[in-house]
Structure 1
Amino acid sequence: MAAAGLVGALAISGAGGGVAAAAPLPQAEVEVVEGGLGVGGGGNGAERAPVVEYGWPLRPAPAVARRFEEPPFRYGRGHRGADLAAAPGQAVLAARAGEVVFAGPVAGRGVVSVLHPDGLRTTYEPVAATVAVGVRVGLGDPIGTLEPGHAGCPVAACLHWGLRRGSGTAADYLDPLVLLRPRYVRLLPLP
């Protein structure tokens, strides 16, 4: 969120190595921006982004067995999510508050999708859902249990965690691990 305030600065003199007080800088606006996702606008991180809270969908934080691989074109080869190593039967948690918009089988595997207030949609598979469509969940709420059988998983079970912006054929797949990057502060001059 943005907060206005007067920002002061200290100047370090080059000759004597001392520190001298400098004139106050003009008023500046402070915004907290999520690490690289730019969820508040066009996606390059330059727009104001709301402070949003996302967490790991598994506890404790899991090892990443396979990372997101962006396809070269919309229907090209790639890996549209991150595979997280876990144990079969482990609780799968909502990465952020939102509404369950899908819970059921897709191609023989259980899938749960949660739509978040920022318009992003997280997807979890293979999961035996413990929630139904229309249910509101909070950050860290259980949404199902992990099932074995995710193809390409090098351990007993992997949660495929996906992230999309938009809906239908216009949706873009994004790297869900960017949701976990630390926030940073950017100072903006006031007009």
Structure 2
Amino acid sequence: MHLRGKVSYLGILVGILVAISCIYIDISKNSFYLVTANHEIVGIVKGSKALNEVLDSIKKTDGEAFLKFLSYKKVKPTRNFISQRELEKNIREKLSLKSKVYSIRINGEEVVKVRNYEDYKNIIEGLKKYYYPKVGGNIKVLSYNIKEKIDVVEILDYYKNTVDVDDAIQKIVDGKMIVSEYEVKEGDTIWNIALDNDVSIEDIRLVNPELNIDKIKIGQKIKIVKKKPYVNVEIVAMVSSSECIPYDTKKIIDKNLKKGIQKVKEKGQNGVAYVEKKIVVLNDDVVEEDIVLNKIVKQPKDEVLVLGAKKDLYVAFNGFIRPSRGVVTSRFGYRWGRMHEGVDIAASTGTPIYAAASGRVIFAGWKSGYGKCVIINHGNGYQTVYGHASRIYVRSGQYINKGERIAAVGSTGRSTGPHLHFEVRKNGIPQNPLKYIK
């Protein structure tokens, strides 16, 4: 009996010890600790395990010395506690220690660092929105595709080396600077060098401060610096819109009217077409456009214009005047692997642009690639196009006389410097303007 009693008491004691141990573990798990760094509160954390793991992490990456700046004490249970990850983040930020950040790498090259993974996801979405097709009408995006490989890697770094979402998007869009050297050849002008290298004359001047751009010499080395975007975003979209069909002008010659007098016998009316097209946009440029549906909703009504007796009423060969003064720097034909459908006439910003022949303005405004642009219909299938203007002085539907000022030279749209891009089209087909202008 005596031995059995001792065993019984031992069992009770072990049970009590186990119970006390469980209570201690439970208390440890449910303890709350208020943590300070440099005597400033950085948060309350639940459980000694979470606290110890944060301290061990800091000790492992930054050394034991930084632990002296930390203190903690037990506090009453509260709902206002933070996660282990948040506590470590707050401590590292307060003590200016390295923290877990995210390195965004494009084709293996680190471009930017951000504080959290959510920022990375917002950057990807932001890049898509940045290049959202800037065309009129209703747009339905079919697909987005970033052609480059983008990875995100968690690393340790200082927060001061990270950027916010907007700055990260801008840096990726701006791209990196590519430096090259161009050797001047016979026949080169600073204008054609700028065009061939897709930079502006002002950019050349900035990176070559000793260069006299008006007196370049054969064999001279010119530094070319331009930006290359880190990513190319391809967007495929359907665009539907109601588009204007410009009315044409029928001209009647009245020999009884004084030379130069014109009268509108019947007013013209623009037509309307419902158009659906599939477009492919690469960054800011529409690189493909296929018309899926072109339905005429309202037919245009021709204007009837009575003109006084005048020989130069219709456009014929050699019937155009030169639209602006300046030097022809780029001719009609293939350039950089694609067709250049007009000629470029270099001139200072603000130089007047004149109508090459009389006709009706069928477009006056912003046109993709052309910037501020004017298109004139001259009848007999002829149209002229005037691109990259700084200002436009006419409006769509207005009748313009040959030699009348219509715009001013500029560098809007896809342009590398101030010039007039001038086109002649016959029945919609681009012609060499130098065969027509005097």
**TM-score, length basis structure 2:** 0.26
Q: CA deviation at 1:165?
A: 1.5
| Residue of structure 2 in register with 1:174 after alignment | 431
Q: For 1:51 and 1:82, how far apart are their aligned partners in 2?
A: 17
For the 8 Å contact 2:344–2:422, the answer to whether it is kept is yes
For the 8 Å contact 1:104–1:129, the answer to whether it is kept is yes
Question: Aligned partner of 1:58: which letter?
Answer: S
Q: Does 1:145 align with 2:402?
A: no
* Structure 1 ranges of 4+ moved more than 6 A: none
For the 8 Å contact 1:88–1:147, the answer to whether it is kept is yes
* Unmatched tracts of structure 2, length 5 or more: 1-313
Taking only aligned residues, the RMSD between alpha carbons, in angstroms, comes to 2.5
* Unmatched tracts of structure 1, length 5 or more: 1-39, 41-48, 182-191
Which SS does the other structure have where 1:126 is aligned?
A: strand
1:109-148 equivalences in 2 (<5 Å): 109-127=371-389, 128-148=391-411
More helix as a share of residues: 2
1:19-168 equivalences in 2 (<5 Å): 50=316, 53-59=319-325, 62-69=326-333, 77-107=338-368, 109-127=371-389, 128-149=391-412, 151=414, 153=416, 156-166=417-427
For the 8 Å contact 1:65–1:158, the answer to whether it is kept is no
Q: CA deviation at 1:50?
A: 4.9
Q: CA deviation at 1:174?
A: 0.9
Which SS does the other structure have where 1:84 is aligned?
A: strand
Q: CA deviation at 1:113?
A: 0.3
Q: For 2:320 and 2:330, how far apart are their aligned partners in 1?
A: 20
| Residue of structure 1 in register with 2:75 after alignment | none
Question: Aligned partner of 2:359: which letter?
Answer: G
Q: CA deviation at 1:180?
A: 2.2
Q: For 1:98 and 1:70, how far apart are their aligned partners in 2?
A: 29
Which SS does the other structure have where 1:78 is aligned?
A: strand
Task: Call closer, same or farther: CA 1:51–1:158 in 2, change over 3 Å.
Answer: closer
Question: Aligned partner of 1:126: which letter?
Answer: H
For the 8 Å contact 1:97–1:136, the answer to whether it is kept is yes
Q: For 1:51 and 1:94, how far apart are their aligned partners in 2?
A: 16
Which SS does the other structure have where 1:180 is aligned?
A: coil
Which SS does the other structure have where 2:424 is aligned?
A: strand
Q: For 1:151 and 1:158, how far apart are their aligned partners in 2?
A: 11
Q: For 2:317 and 2:412, how far apart are their aligned partners in 1?
A: 36
Identity %: 29
For the 8 Å contact 2:318–2:437, the answer to whether it is kept is no
Which SS does the other structure have where 1:116 is aligned?
A: strand
For the 8 Å contact 2:381–2:426, the answer to whether it is kept is yes
Q: For 2:316 and 2:339, how far apart are their aligned partners in 1?
A: 29
Give per-residue Cα distances to partners, 1:50-90, cap 9 Å, x unaligned: 5763100013xx2110000059xxxx821010000111011
For the 8 Å contact 1:146–1:159, the answer to whether it is kept is yes
Task: Call closer, same or farther: CA 1:124–1:51 in 2, change over 3 Å.
Answer: closer
Give per-residue Cα distances to partners, 1:108-131, cap 9 Å, x unaligned: 610100011332100001122110
Task: Call closer, same or farther: CA 1:83–1:95 in 2, change over 3 Å.
Answer: same
Task: Call closer, same or farther: CA 1:63–1:172 in 2, change over 3 Å.
Answer: same
Q: For 1:83 and 1:104, how far apart are their aligned partners in 2?
A: 19
| Residue of structure 2 in register with 1:46 after alignment | none
Bigger RCO (CA 8 Å, 6+ sep): 1
For the 8 Å contact 1:102–1:111, the answer to whether it is kept is yes
